[in-house]
């Protein structure tokens, strides 16, 4: 059984991974990659990228 601290730790890890992927996506967009390429490379959906404003 996971404790509250374990759950919070896992949530923090997941948030950190997402932020890292989003930062990479921003750099890719700045380098001229299109949204489909960014989604394929990062593993994030196009919808998720749009949600986090990784579009023009």
Convert the pLDDT of each residue in 3-42 to its tens digit.
Answer: 998 888 888 888 889 999 999 999 999 999 999 999 999 9
> Could you tell me the residue ranges of all domains in the chain?
4-51
For residue 44, pLDDT beyond 90: yes
Contact by Cβ (8 Å): 26, 41: no
Separation CA 36–CA 44 (nearest Å): 10
pTM, two decimals, is: 0.79
> Is the dihedral angle over the CA atoms 11, 13, 18, 22 positive or is it negative?
positive
- Residue 22 has a pLDDT of 96
């Amino acid at each position: 059984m996971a404790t509250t601290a374990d759950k919070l730790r896992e949530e923090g890890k997941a948030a950190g991974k997402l932020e890292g992927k989003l930062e990479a996506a921003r750099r890719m967009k700045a380098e001229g990659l299109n949204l489909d390429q960014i989604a394929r490379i990062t593993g994030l959906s196009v919808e998720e990228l749009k949600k986090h404003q990784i579009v023009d």
